[in-house]
């Protein structure tokens, strides 16, 4: 058996937390041979509800669960953590864009970045799920100057999985036959789900679907899927978001499959002309616990315009939170 690792989850009493913690404790994220100690952070009024979640986790008698720390203090929650899933923040309601949450949620991520900077392991892997996820990740990263910026990522894996599912349905295939889908940019309605490099059972995806479906159905449906779920459920996606968070971390740790890539929002170093520093959705491969941007992809005019639009939105979001970036 391996030595236990410490996994922090914020917003642990929320709806994503409830769908996430039991899967982490069951070994879905880090493997069936990796014991975990869960560090659960909540705001003070949610501590009683969090105690209920702790009771349930204990009642599962998970073989891999080697301890639980439940707290309302980020300095305790992030002490010596190897992984941090930053979920805690308010979800949007009907009619809102995710960036409308920036004022409400942005303030959460500066102190959490500082607490990670002070207490987390130097190799910590951070995934921001709370919306607007990319810019919240930027705020956390900017407030953690002693950690490698590459420790900080945001989630576009849910969008990536949504794209796989829609394409599989359209082509009458299974998601496991699809390779090399990319979600570029922001986890927002400007995101660009790109099929130009994708294949379905070895055939180019765009040869199997018509351009009108790609432009008028596929792209907007993926972009608006979060809003469609809020409309249908009266609450934002939770189990699928938790599942994507598990996928994101597992791929980061265990690697991508040969001949495939995944989409992760990571700090830009200028690849594909994106402003350095933005947390931007890119195609990446993962190996030995590190991610690498897939370089050299041909980007046509259609794609270039869409990548530029989502980059513009992220630059605007960054400009709106300069006061939280600690510089």
Sequence-distant (≥ 6) Cβ neighbours of residue 203 within 8 angstroms: none
User: Is 107 one of the annotated binding-site residues?
Assistant: no
Q: Which of 158, 164, 178, 293 binds ligand LMR (CB under 6 A)?
A: 158
Task: Indicate which residue of 66, 160, 174, 187 is catalytic.
Answer: 187
Can you tell me the distance from the alpha carbon of 245 to that of 239, in angstroms, rounded to the nearest whole number? Answer: 10
Quick count: other Cβ atoms within 10 Å of Cβ 183? 28
Would you say 209 and 193 are in contact if contact means Cβ atoms under 8 Å apart? no
Binding mask 177-216 for ligand LMR (x = CB under 6 A): ----------------------------------------
Would you say 57 and 68 are in contact if contact means Cβ atoms under 8 Å apart? yes
Residues at the interface with ligand NAD (CB under 6 A): 10-11, 13-17, 41-43, 46, 87-92, 108, 129-131, 133, 155, 158, 187, 236-238, 241
**Residue 147, interface with ligand LMR (CB under 6 A)?**
no
Q: How far is the CB of 161 from ligand LMR (least distance, A)?
A: 11
Can you tell me the distance from the alpha carbon of 248 to that of 155, in angstroms, rounded to the nearest whole number? Answer: 7
User: Which residues in the 232-271 window bind ligand LMR by CB under 6 A?
Assistant: 236-237, 241
Q: How far is the CB of 233 from ligand NAD (least distance, A)?
A: 10
Q: What is the side-by-side order of every strand in the sheet holding 199-200? A: 178-179, 199-200, 203-204
Q: Is 323 a residue of the active site? A: no
Beta strand residue intervals within 149-254, DSSP E: 152-154, 178-179, 182-184, 192-194, 199-200, 203-204
Q: How far is the CB of 241 from ligand NAD (least distance, A)?
A: 3
Can you tell me the distance from the alpha carbon of 159 to that of 187, in angstroms, rounded to the nearest whole number? Answer: 8
The option from ligand LMR, ligand NAD, none interacting with 229 (CB < 5 to 8 A, set by class) reads ligand LMR
**Residue 92, interface with ligand LMR (CB under 6 A)?**
yes
Can you tell me the distance from the alpha carbon of 98 to that of 128, in angstroms, rounded to the nearest whole number? Answer: 14
Binding mask 2-41 for ligand LMR (x = CB under 6 A): ----------------------------------------
Can you tell me the distance from the alpha carbon of 165 to that of 284, in angstroms, rounded to the nearest whole number? Answer: 19
The option from ligand LMR, ligand NAD, none interacting with 117 (CB < 5 to 8 A, set by class) reads none
Active-site residues, by number, are: 187
């Amino acid at each position: 058996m391996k030595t236990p690792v410490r996994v922090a989850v914020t917003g642990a009493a929320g709806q994503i937390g409830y769908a996430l913690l039991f899967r982490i404790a069951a070994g879905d994220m880090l493997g069936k041979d990796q014991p975990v100690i869960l560090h659960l952070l909540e705001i003070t009024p949610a501590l009683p509800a969090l105690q209920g979640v702790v009771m349930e986790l204990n009642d599962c008698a998970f073989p891999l669960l080697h301890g639980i720390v439940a707290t309302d203090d980020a300095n305790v929650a992030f002490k010596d953590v190897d992984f941090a899933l930053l979920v805690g923040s308010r979800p949007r309601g009907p009619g809102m864009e995710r960036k409308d949450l920036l004022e409400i949620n942005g303030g959460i991520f500066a102190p959490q970045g500082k607490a990670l900077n002070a207490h987390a392991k130097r190799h910590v892997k951070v995934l921001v799920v709370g919306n607007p996820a990319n810019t919240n990740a930027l705020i956390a990263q900017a407030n953690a100057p002693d950690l490698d910026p590459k420790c900080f990522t945001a989630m576009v894996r849910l969008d990536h999985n949504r794209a796989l599912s829609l394409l599989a349905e359209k082509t009458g295939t299974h998601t496991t036959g699809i390779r090399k889908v990319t979600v570029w940019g922001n986890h927002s309605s400007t995101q660009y789900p790109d099929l130009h490099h994708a294949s379905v059972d070895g055939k180019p995806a765009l040869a199997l679907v018509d351009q009108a479906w790609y432009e008028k159905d596929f792209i907007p449906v993926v972009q608006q899927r979060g809003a469609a779920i809020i409309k249908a459920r009266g609450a934002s996606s939770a189990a699928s978001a938790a599942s994507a968070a598990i996928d994101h971390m597992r791929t980061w740790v265990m690697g991508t499959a040969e001949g495939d890539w995944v989409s992760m929002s990571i700090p830009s170093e200028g690849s594909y002309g994106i402003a350095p520093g933005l947390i931007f959705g890119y195609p990446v491969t993962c190996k030995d616990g590190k991610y690498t941007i897939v370089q050299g992809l041909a980007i046509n005019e259609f794609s270039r315009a869409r990548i530029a639009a989502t980059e513009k939105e992220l630059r605007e979001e960054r400009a709106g939170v300069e006061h939280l970036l600690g510089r």
